[in-house]
């Protein structure tokens, strides 16, 4: 990008307040413009293919095709795509799933404006970047020995598996939120993701699957 060019950004997120806030931030600076907004993973893939943006801001949890799968498809079609994941999820599994899918950066929602703009510019220039909290988790991940034993429900993130285990113990969402220091909304989102990944209809069926597998 030359000094006179602007970074062309695609925002992929299903929350209108986040999209509006991000659009306002990007339009307040002179070197960025918002090309379009996508509210689903499928829309992000289609718009990325048509518009070829310089940077794609990608949420993880979206209806239909999630952000990880959307990232994987976009990078498959355009290996040089610059994708910055911007999400509330900071667990190891989400971070590394995004990186394996081809994301160049990972930023937590709630990062201040300066951090956000710096991350977008860096990814737009082809750099890899992590928010401070995520960078610490990456360093910790590689510094901590990992067990080679297979784990139950590998399709779940570490946080989701932790919540599933608490569900199997009969804990209510409120108790789980208090124990894990998470918002009730975040716990509910995790429970919904768990049911989707385990292909069960509700919490009760998730408990049955967990206990059959030995979680209790």
Q: Does the global pTM surpass 0.75?
A: no
Q: What CATH number does the domain located at 7-140 have?
A: 3.40.50.2300
Domain segments of the chain: what residues?
7-140, 158-212
Q: Which two tokens stand for residue 95?
A: 């971070």
Dihedral sign from CA coordinates of 12, 44, 38, 54: positive
49-88: pLDDT as tens digits = 999 999 999 999 998 889 999 999 999 998 889 999 999 8
How large is the C-alpha radius of gyration of the chain?
A: 18
190-212: pLDDT as tens digits = 999 999 888 888 888 888 888 88
Nearest C-alpha neighbor of 55 from the set 1, 111, 133: 1
Looking at domain 158-212, which CATH architecture does it have?
Orthogonal Bundle (1.10)
């Amino acid at each position: 990008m030359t000094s006179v060019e602007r970074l062309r950004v695609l925002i992929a997120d299903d929350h209108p307040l986040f999209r509006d806030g991000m659009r306002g931030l990007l339009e307040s600076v002179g070197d960025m413009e918002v090309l379009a907004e996508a509210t689903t993973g499928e829309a992000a893939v289609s718009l990325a293919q048509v518009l070829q943006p310089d940077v794609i801001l990608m949420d993880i949890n979206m209806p239909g095709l999630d952000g990880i799968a959307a990232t994987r498809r976009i990078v498959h079609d355009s290996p040089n795509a610059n994708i910055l994941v911007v999400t509330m999820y900071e667990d190891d599994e989400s971070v590394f799933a995004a990186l394996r899918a081809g994301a160049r950066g990972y930023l937590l929602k709630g990062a201040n404006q300066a951090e956000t703009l710096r991350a977008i510019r860096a990814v737009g220039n082809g750099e890899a970047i992590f928010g401070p909290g995520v960078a610490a988790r990456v360093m910790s991940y590689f510094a901590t020995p990992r067990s080679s034993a297979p784990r139950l429900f590998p399709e779940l993130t570490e946080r989701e598996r932790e919540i599933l285990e608490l569900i199997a113990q009969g804990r209510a969402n409120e108790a789980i939120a208090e124990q894990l220091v998470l918002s009730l909304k975040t716990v509910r989102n995790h429970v919904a993701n768990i049911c989707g990944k385990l292909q069960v209809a509700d919490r009760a069926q998730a408990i049955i699957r967990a206990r059959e597998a030995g979680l209790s």
